[in-house]
Structure 1
Amino acid sequence: MHNLSLRGQENSLFRLGFGAMGLDGRFGVQDDETMIESLLYSLEQGVNFIDTARAYGRSEELVGKALKRWGGPRPFVATKVEARQAPAGYLPGAGFHYAIPVEAAYPRGSVTESVEESLRQLDMDCIDLVQMHQYWPQWDDSDYWMEELIRLREQGKLRFIGVSLPDHRSDLGIGLARSGHIDAIQTIINIFDSTAFDGLVPVCRDHGVAVIARVIMDEGGLTGWLKENTEIPPSDYRYQYFDCVPRSLYMNKVNRLQEYIPDYSDSLAELAVRFVLNDPGVTVALTSMQVREYAEANIDAARKGALPDHLFDSMKVRNRWFRHFYHERRHLDL
């Protein structure tokens, strides 16, 4: 993986990463101290990968404050370059769910500007991994954004270069994985969306590219939190996400997973964590742990180790559900 390595990677716990998007209140508002303490607890338990982004509000700032109080080994810190808003005239979701010109998303100099601000917010001299928060394959024809990242690496301001794929379509990163120009690719992987295991993950493995799995709980739908009558406030990032299809349809898909509990996992959330970590091609799996209760549950799940191979292979086929919730959520009113 271009020497991108995580200490203790042979232990599944160390392949569980702290997803820091929740530090900006997108999944419910918590006070700063509660979230910082949860991050410190996670580090104490052996979690050593933190993923944040310039676009996650105060997330970088809070990560930086937590690390100042942390007295143990320095964790691996990843962040993402903030993309500009799509120009007027584009439909909602453009940039993340529809391509826009790279010059619009990342004007010349904006990558450097974003990384410099991340360094200030994190209060760090060098960031382990910097990812483009949007990436589209057609952008490969314009190499200035990559040149900016390489220049920053040469200046010692970052160690590794990556991209975060915009939505469910993991195959968007296959060409880049083969190019030799990238160290890591972040994509969605969960029980309902395991398509990355078919193409992107094995290609990344063969070309030494790290795979960072996100949305492993399907935005909380695979935690047992969501019920038929769960009301999600408009301020929550997941507002309308689950209801792009009838709620009953989503719950039926979730309830079908109960056949694996408790024979193979003690809870739905544990099953979700262990499923993604089951494939050794996943370098690290991210989950929101801004609340200690979440951190404790997810860390305990990771400690359980791999699922039986026959179960993992079966689940990839039987529980796969092709849909595009991000696209549908953003177009309910069109």
Structure 2
Amino acid sequence: MKYNAFGKLGTEVSRLGFGAMGLGGVFGQYDEKDLVRSVLHSLEKGVNFIDTARNYGESERILGLALREWKGKKPFIASKIQSRGPGNLGWGKPIPVESAFPQGWLRESTETSLRLLGVDTIDLIQLHQYWPQWDRVDYWMDELLQLKQEGKIRGIGVSLPDQRHDIVLPLVQSGKIDSVQTVFHIFDPLPLDCLIPICQENNVAVIARCILDEGGLTGFLKEDTLFEEGDFRKSYFDYMPRGLYIERVNRLKEAFVPKYAESLAELAIKFVLHHPGVTAAISSMHVPRYADENIAAVDREPLPEEAFEEIRQHHRWVRNFYETKYWQ
């Protein structure tokens, strides 16, 4: 495993992080004991960065069970404050910060996370969505700074709602936050244009999420793939003909696998970790086999620059899931 300093906080975190969304059942139902074991397995393999959220069902509680069993050094824990907004909850279009995070809610959500995780301090607390209009008011940042002063959190970050990566640049340059979490994968390399280099210049950590495009960049998706009821991927992949997605994936396989990577997933992970401004990339490792495959990718030879640029320039295919979900 390889490690990076987490921005201004300085803590060394694994470049590949455990994305705990899968602990909440969005990718199918698993036995709780198996989920706890998956966390412990990743920690044993050198992963020391875990990202969860209040909005991920039972994720924080299950993660808390794993942390109580873990005998090694405490991992870096990041969580996100659940928004309370009506209607679309601010994912598809901006809503007032007073609706998403009313006064007092940031503290209430954070204290719930602390209790479920069974920790005294959360290393990084993130707004689970962010819109630049919110910078016109100060109370939400003041509440986060108060939590930091009390020792309940160490760092402050924001998680961007969709592919509009550049909306956070003024906040990054303000010096008020420690991290940004954003969608970043082979089909969506847009953070490379502005967000990642500007975060790097301002010593703001970048957490890349959806690095395997909800599993699509593992090559698992077939025309006849079935999803369980409640599986997030059913609506994610089926808002367009599956053949379009499969065709794009096959192009990548033909051009780069096995020449530059042993698998499509390895190629996707190498691509996201190529830029030194990416502090950590998170993927769902709720199945130990997934964890082993993803961790192995980090330790292999990086992509040559020419392969990275070929992918960046000729395989981009930016799709905003929320455009379809909310604007049909």
| TM interval, short-chain normalised | over 0.9
Could you say which residue in structure 1 is the equivalent of 2:275? 279
For 1:39, give the aligned amino acid.
Answer: V
Contact 2:92 2:326 in 1 (8 A): no
Per-residue Cα deviation, 1:272-300 (whole angstroms, up to 9, x for no partner):
11110111100000000011111111111
For 2:219 and 2:326, the matched residues in 1 are separated by: 25
Matched, 1:186 2:181: yes
Q: CA RMSD in A?
A: 1.3
Could you say which residue in structure 2 is the equivalent of 1:314? 310
For 2:159 and 2:30, the matched residues in 1 are separated by: 26
Could you say which residue in structure 1 is the equivalent of 2:69? 69
Per-residue Cα deviation, 1:40-61 (whole angstroms, up to 9, x for no partner):
1100110010000011111111
What is the deviation of 1:2? 4.9
Matched, 1:104 2:109: no
% identical equivalent positions: 52
TM-score, normalised with respect to structure 1: 0.94
Per-residue Cα deviation, 1:42-93 (whole angstroms, up to 9, x for no partner):
001100100000111111111111111111111100000110032xxx5xx3
Ranges in structure 1 where 5+ consecutive residues have no aligned partner: none
Could you say which residue in structure 2 is the equivalent of 1:35? 35
For 2:154, give the aligned amino acid.
Answer: R
Task: Give SS of 1:240's match.
Answer: helix
Per-residue Cα deviation, 1:275-332 (whole angstroms, up to 9, x for no partner):
1011110000000001111111111111214211111112111111122123213444
For 2:121 and 2:89, the matched residues in 1 are separated by: 31
For 1:274 and 1:319, the matched residues in 2 are separated by: 15
Task: Give SS of 2:123's match.
Answer: strand
Could you say which residue in structure 2 is the equivalent of 1:17? 17
Could you say which residue in structure 1 is the equivalent of 2:213? 218
For 1:4, give the aligned amino acid.
Answer: L
Contact 1:222 1:272 in 2 (8 A): yes
Residues 113-262 of structure 1: pairs in structure 2 closer than 5 A: 113-258=108-253, 259-262=255-258
Contact 2:122 2:153 in 1 (8 A): yes
What is the deviation of 1:243? 2.1
For 2:9, give the aligned amino acid.
Answer: L
Q: What is the count of residue pairs matched by the alignment?
A: 322
For 2:8, give the aligned amino acid.
Answer: N
Contact 1:189 1:216 in 2 (8 A): yes
Per-residue Cα deviation, 1:125-184 (whole angstroms, up to 9, x for no partner):
110000000100010001101100000000000000000000111111111111110000
For 1:242 and 1:162, the matched residues in 2 are separated by: 29
Contact 1:242 1:325 in 2 (8 A): no
Matched, 1:5 2:5: no
What is the deviation of 1:4? 2.3
TM-score, normalised with respect to structure 2: 0.95
For 1:167 and 1:212, the matched residues in 2 are separated by: 14
For 2:301 and 2:68, the matched residues in 1 are separated by: 31
Stretch moving more, 318-327 or 144-153:
318-327
For 1:250 and 1:103, the matched residues in 2 are separated by: 38
Could you say which residue in structure 2 is the equivalent of 1:26? 26
What is the deviation of 1:94? 4.5
For 2:288 and 2:326, the matched residues in 1 are separated by: 31
Ranges in structure 2 where 5+ consecutive residues have no aligned partner: 1-5
Structure 1 outlier segments of 4+, above 6 Å: none
For 1:178 and 1:294, the matched residues in 2 are separated by: 36
Could you say which residue in structure 1 is the equivalent of 2:3? none
Q: Alpha carbons of 1:136 and 1:278: their partners in 2 closer, same or farther (altered >3 Å)?
A: same
For 2:71 and 2:237, the matched residues in 1 are separated by: 40
Contact 2:211 2:281 in 1 (8 A): yes
For 1:243 and 1:63, the matched residues in 2 are separated by: 30
For 2:323 and 2:232, the matched residues in 1 are separated by: 14
Could you say which residue in structure 1 is the equivalent of 2:80? 80
For 1:308 and 1:158, the matched residues in 2 are separated by: 39
For 2:240 and 2:146, the matched residues in 1 are separated by: 45
Contact 1:165 1:187 in 2 (8 A): yes
Task: Give SS of 1:219's match.
Answer: coil
Could you say which residue in structure 2 is the equivalent of 1:58? 58
